[in-house]
Amino acid sequence: MHDLTLAKIAQGLAKGEFSSRELTQHFLERIEKYDSRFNSFITVTGERALTRADAADTQRAAGQAGILSGVPLAYKDIFCTEDIRTSCGSKMLDNFKAPYNATVVEKLELAGTVNLGKTNMDEFAMGSSNETSFYGPVRNPWNTDLVPGGSSGGSAAAVAAGLAPAALGTDTGGSIRQPAAFCGITGLKPTYGRVSRYGMIAYASSLDQGGPMARSAEDCALLLNAMAGHDPRDSTSVSRAVPDYTQSLDAPLKGLKIGLPREYFGDGLDEGVERAVREAIAVYESLGASVIDVSLPHTQHAVPAYYVIAPAEASSNLSRYDGVRFGHRCDDPQDLMDLYKRSRAEAFGEEVKRRILIGTHTLSEGFFDAYYKKAQQVRRLIRQDFLDAFEKVDVLMGPAAPTTAFALGNKADPVQMYLQDIYTIAINLAGIPGISVPAGFHEGSPVGLQILGPHFGEAHLLNVAHQYQQATDWHTRQPDLP
Amino acid sequence: MQWETVIGLEVHVQLATQSKIFSGASTAYGAEPNTQACAVDLGLPGVLPVLNENAVAMAVRFGLAIDAEIPEISVFDRKNYFYPDLPKGYQTSQMGQPIVGAGEVEITLEDSSTHTVRIHHAHLEEDAGKSVHENFHSQTGIDLNRAGTPLLEIVSEPDMRSPKEASAYVRALHTLVTYLGISDGNMNEGSMRCDVNVSVRPKGQESFGTRAEVKNVNSFRFIERAIEVEVERQIDLLEDGGTVVQETRLFDPDRDETRSMRTKEEANDYRYFPCPDLLPLMLDQAYVDHQRTLLPELPAEKRQRFKEVLGLSSYDAAVLTATRAMAEYFEQVHTRCSDAKLAANWVQGELSGRLNKENLDITQSPVSAEQLGDLLLRLKDDTINGKAAKQVFAELWSRTFETADEVIEAKGLKQVTDTAAIEAVVDQVIADNPIQVTQYKDAEPDKRGKMIGFFVGQAMKASKGTANPQQVNQLLKQKLDALL
Amino acid sequence: MAIEHADVLRAAHLARLGIDDADATRYVGDLSRILEMVDALQGVDTEGVAPLAHPLDATQPLRADEAIEPDRREAFQACAPSVSQGYYLVPRVVE
């Protein structure tokens, strides 16, 4: 059952081929059996999951099941789940049981899904390798010497290893797409504002967006149907009708205009990755698409702009972790200053501290204009690059990351790590949707093809990804787990 | 040397919304600690702010009332600092693009002179919680019920030159916000809090001196005193060859001094930046126009109308419009009795006197405007005389009767206007007081007018106060003069 | 723009992060490399370009003014490190 797509699982449940309890039990057993190798879960909610599965089975027997009823899922541990630890991968929240559900969790629960547990992640979603988690690094199911990517590395590894049929991730600078690419699964970052951020612990509020990580584009469409939509509790969520994303999956691609940003195929791109991506594009040509060379001239400025904006927002967003109302508090604080400084120093990891310091520094008096304001101006130029490109083409394609998964401990230098996100970060700055789909292997590691569309172009992106997955079988590959 | 005082104020007005500025928690005062602090107010992980439409509307109406521009776009910023009563580690405020632009407020001083104070801008922000230092051994308790209460911070230009102008300005703002109904104006509960920027300069000098900010001056009484002592301190300092340091000071009314609050070792760096959880607030012309239609009659307009339409004096108009409650009370009394001057006299005289004596607000008056209006109607139609009216008022005040008519009936206060009955009383008084009659006759003609008062008093007494005093007076004069 | 030891200590203090001198020295290295990368932005011509704070040109929605949140103090304080009589407790703050 663990090699089935969500769509197939939904069918199987509908036909009575298996019950939600059997299915849930199966995934829980696999987590029990295999996850010590990958460390993809922080918290497994076995008993709750079985109770939910039984409820879904009862509902189905009563003829009241929806399409996602009884389908097991996992949540990145950044989504608040009521009465379940929500750690955000940090010691700071190791003792935090959220008193509420995130809006997307609420929606998916309403749709009848079963929560298997909370997946590992880079601390506060800051990282590209899942090595910054307080709960230890996650390992890539294809090769446990390698990282799964980050920050949604736990979700990606869990789905790739067949420990969950699908999972939720969040993407601030590539945190869904890059781990999806490294682990050989499909991951969608929706348009900023498409999915509610309420109850999704903030890293960088103007960039964060939750999205599905699954075995196929069709599965992502099924999940996005349940997740998307305006939330009155999130001012930045968009009030705009949500289409049925599964409806347009089968539209033919004849006449599709694909733009290849030349900046995405330049220096630093691993040859093996480029080869796989170009082969994928050739598949599209065979499906009737045409390919046009385009330019996104401000690409090289995306990483620098991001590393001003994201840490600035983060430095402010993370001020609430002060040891007063929840979270870690140091022992025997001498005074208020000691309480603040020690609680935060003890409970935040290195990368989080680095970003808080950078953000605090760049927002300081005398630096604001040179850094923050400048970065926001550049942000507008970056968005304009995409708006211009989508005047000429329907979608853009390129690699999701410059390399395949790298070895644990391989990127000790923060800047080198940041440059990993060169192809994904601009998308968050512009707020457009992007999807990574499995497009082959290089030296045994999966390669991700990234497809980008204009704002609110998810339906078309999913259609374009789905058609590729009808023509290829890369997305069906799973690592052998002895 | 002659010194000139320069004063600017930042007044924080708590807006009278039902719920917080960014959450659906109640703003009611006085609840058990932390029972009105929801996840958003507490800054729990993952929660997000959504702006209260009423806080926006109230700010806009204030802006319209001071003739300010309402910019089409305004932006919320984060002011970052750590404090236990500030749950998120930042205060959501407005720095660069506030909701209300430049405007002006007219103030009236005791000598009836008027001045204009320019408003630099007004912006929306959230209030912080409260720290409680008692009851917790070597610890401080934090109550976040107030956290997230909407505040309108009104920032004036440094246009005031005396403590009296400053307090008149705060009174004018108080009158304005209570008229607009955007704040309860309750200073005791912190609904209006003032930070006062004070500096002095040699008279005639154009550039400003270094200012000190005196924080949290929270009663009309203390505003003037706080400024006075701060001005004295600065002048003493300068005359002794010292310099004023730009700093924040706290007024201590018990010790009658201001003292430095500089306990922190470094200057604050609030790292303002636009709040990424809130989008730019856009208010189009249609919205602003609609808010304009919701404005009540403002104090200045009301004053004008009281003078021009109701024929009241400037003084009466000013007193009766000082608060919206006062104006409303007066207008109801006037509607009932249709005599503006009479209503004005009674509201300012008998009623206000009694209220002051018992330290009551006009909204707490035991005598309602309807009751007083009906009473004045009886005075006006001569059913009772002035003396009886005061007696009726006293009865209504003690709530022994429901209406003026009930009192008049029960106490037999109806005025006697029957000439024959009054004549009988008058004749009796003349017959009973021969000595005084003789004195009257012997007196110089111009003294007689005064002497007649004695006979009137006797006649009123004899009629138990019910005789119409004018009639009594007239008849006595006739009859005594006939004896000459 | 280079970052110096004092800048790191200042930022750490503003951010209430307890770091010692050795930490600060390490951060000077890390943060300098990051800022060096970021400094590339200075070369971008942004004359007349308005800053972009949000990726969409959306405006702020408004909420009806209704007090609808129930009292959930018990649930919220269940995860608090120190409470008494409904108050959150911190070491005595001197004002």
Sheet holding B212-217, edge to edge: B103-108, B114-126, B150-156, B3-14, B192-202, B212-217, B248-252, B257-260
pLDDT at B419: 79
Block means of pLDDT (10 residues each) for chain A, 482 residues, are 94 97 98 98 98 97 96 98 98 97 98 98 97 98 97 98 98 98 98 98 98 98 98 96 97 97 94 98 98 97 98 98 98 96 98 97 93 97 98 98 96 87 97 98 98 98 98 97 85
> Which chains border B (3 or more CB–CB pairs < 8 Å)?
A, C
The single residue of A129, A175, A216, A315 carrying the catalytic annotation is A175
Half-sphere exposure in the Cβ direction for A288 (13 Å, CA): 8
**In angstroms, what separates the C-alpha of C46 from chain A's closest C-alpha?**
6
In chain C, where are the structural domains located? 5-43
- B307-364: per-residue pLDDT in tens? 999 999 988 998 999 888 999 999 999 999 999 999 999 999 999 999 999 999 899 9
pLDDT tens digits for range A164-196: 999 999 999 999 999 999 999 999 999 999 999
- List C53's β-bridge partners, or say none: none
Q: What is the pLDDT of residue B266?
A: 53
User: What range does the domain containing A163 cover?
Assistant: 6-253+433-441+458-476
Among candidates A358, A428, A455 on the partner chain, residue whose Cβ is nearest the Cβ of C31: A358
Q: Tell me whether residues C50 and A341 touch, CB distance under 8 A.
A: no
Instruction: Kindly list the residues from chain B whose CB atom is less than 8 angstroms away from the CB atom of residue A79.
Output: 46
The tens-digit pLDDT sequence of chain B (484 residues) is 899 999 999 999 999 999 999 999 999 999 999 999 999 999 999 999 999 999 999 999 999 999 999 999 999 999 999 999 999 999 999 999 999 999 999 998 888 788 999 999 999 999 999 999 988 888 999 999 999 999 999 999 999 999 999 999 999 999 999 999 999 988 888 899 999 999 999 999 999 999 999 987 888 888 999 999 999 999 999 999 999 998 899 999 899 999 988 655 456 799 999 999 999 999 999 999 999 999 999 998 999 999 999 999 988 998 999 888 999 999 999 999 999 999 999 999 999 999 999 999 899 999 999 999 999 999 998 889 888 899 999 999 998 899 999 999 888 888 777 778 888 888 888 889 888 888 888 888 888 878 888 888 888 888 888 888 888 888 888 888 888 7
What is the three-class DSSP state of A397? strand
**How far is CA C70 from each of CA A98, B114, C63, rounded to the nearest angstrom?**
17, 48, 17
The Cα A115–Cα A108 span in angstroms is: 9
Structure tokens at A229: 């939509």
A72-76 vs A166-171, strand pairing mode:
parallel
| Topology of the domain covering B419-482 | Arc Repressor Mutant, subunit A (1.10.10)
Identify residue B241 by its one-letter amino acid code. G
What is the SS3 assignment for A35? helix
Query: Tell me, what's the pLDDT at A227?
Result: 98
Q: Check: CB of residue A283 under 8 Å from CB of residue A471.
A: yes
Other Cβ atoms within 10 Å of A53 Cβ, number: 26
CB contact (8 A) between residue C93 and residue B133? yes
**Rounded (10°) angle between helices B434-442 and B445-462:** 160
- C-alpha span between A460 and B68 (Å, rounded): 48
Nearest to C53 by CA among A378, B417, B196: A378
What residues are paired with A2 via a beta bridge? none
Distance CA A139, CA A147 (A): 5
Domain ranges for chain B: 3-287, 297-411, 419-482
* Res B267: pLDDT: 62
Asked if B126 has any chain C CB less than 8 Å from its own CB, the reply is no
ipTM score for this prediction:
0.97
The CATH number of residue A127's host domain is 3.90.1300.10
Do residue C86 and residue B140 have CB atoms under 8 angstroms apart?
no
- In this predicted model, what pLDDT tens digit does every residue of A253-283 receive, in sequence order? 999 999 999 999 988 999 999 999 999 999 9
Are C87 and B143 in contact (CB < 8 Å)?
yes
Catalytic residue at A175?
yes
Nearest to A417 by CA among A400, A401, A439: A401
Distance between CA atoms of A329 and A399, rounded to whole angstroms? 43
Q: How far is CA A399 from the centre of its chain?
A: 16
Scanning A209-349, the segments in alpha helix (DSSP H) are 217-227, 271-286, 302-317, 336-347
Asked whether residue A325 is domain-assigned, the answer is no
What is the rounded CA–CA span in Å between residue A172 and residue A43? 23
Is B45 in contact with A96 (Cβ distance < 8 A)? Answer: yes
In what helix (H) or strand (E) does residue C83 lie, and over which residues does it extend?
strand C83-84
What is the total count of domains within chain A? 1
DSSP designation for A236: T
Residue A34 resides in a domain: yes
Kindly state the tokens that stand for B133: 């230092």
Nearest 10 degrees: Cα torsion B354, B355, B356, B359 = 130
Q: Decide if B204 touches A, using CB distance below 8 A.
A: no
Question: A361, A383, A428: which to substitute to probe chain C, counting the most C Cβ within 10 Å?
Answer: A361
Inter-chain residue contact B24 with C66, CB threshold 8 Å: yes
Tell whether B35 is within 8 A of chain C (Cβ): yes
| Separation between Cα atoms, residue A149 and residue A404, nearest integer Å | 9
Q: What is the DSSP string of A195-228?
A: B--TTB--SSTTT-EEEEEESSHHHHHHHHHHHB
**Which among A434, A368, A355, A428 has a CA at the least distance from the CA of A206?**
A428
Cα–Cα distance, B373 to B382 (Å, whole number) = 14
Selection from A227, A236, A235, A151 nearest residue A190 by Cα: A227
A·B CB contacts under 8 A: 103
3-state secondary structure of B342: helix
- Chain C positions touching B276 (Cβ under 8 A) are 53-54
pLDDT for position B263: 53
- Residues found in chain B: 484
Nearest to B48 among A79, A88, A197 (CB): A197
Q: Cα–Cα–Cα angle for B475, B479, B481, nearest 5°?
A: 115
- Report the C-alpha gap between B138 and B121 in whole angstroms: 41
Query: Which whole-number Å values give the CA distances from A318 to A55, A134, A372, B251, in the listed order?
Result: 38, 16, 18, 35
Q: Are B413 and B388 in contact (CB under 8 A)?
A: yes
Nearest CB neighbour to A193, from listed C8, C58, C78: C58
- Dist. CA C8–CA C28, nearest whole Å: 7
Which chain B residue is nearest to residue A235, measuring alpha carbons?
B50
Counted across chains A and C, CB pairs separated by less than 8 A come out at: 178
Q: Of the candidates B89, B142, B277, which has its C-beta nearest A236's C-beta? A: B277
CA atoms within 13 A on the CB side of A375: 28
Rounded to the nearest 5 percent, the helix, strand and coil shares of chain C are 40, 10, 50
